[in-house]
A = this chain, B = another copy of it.
């Protein structure tokens, strides 16, 4: 009974009363969610990019593992750009919500290139990885140039 109470306490502490339509309890959570997902992605992508640039010794397994995490997490941030998530202070420009179709197109392109990078790292061919890193990095830059404040 005591254990059940502890569990119920843990659950109530972790949950919030929100409608299913609202993916996040508050706009600040949406912002933190997209920033968190992008940070996890960026850390993993940067490791592979560092290997491609010769700044980090090439390790095929680490590259493949990192690219797999980057690919998975590349799908996550976009849920955090929903209606109302433009309100809290962040580097996301209002243009995102004004040009959502263009933003979504950039997001799709990045995910496509990140998936290709994951495939390239599985090949273990450093030249293929370099090309895929360049293509992926280009999609990051395009979006940051248009939609992220300095």
Contact = CB atoms under 8 A, between A and B. Distances in A.
B55 A133 contact: no
A16 B138 contact: no
A101 B50 CA distance: 32
A138 B5 CA distance: 10
Classify the secondary structure of A's interface with B: helix
A20 B55 CA distance: 9
A1 interface: no
A7 B133 CA distance: 9
Contact of A17 (B35, B55, B73, B135): B55
Interface of A: 3-4, 6-20, 23-24, 29, 32-33, 35-37, 39-40, 42-43, 45-47, 49-53, 55-57, 59, 62, 69, 72-73, 76, 133-135, 137-138, 140-141
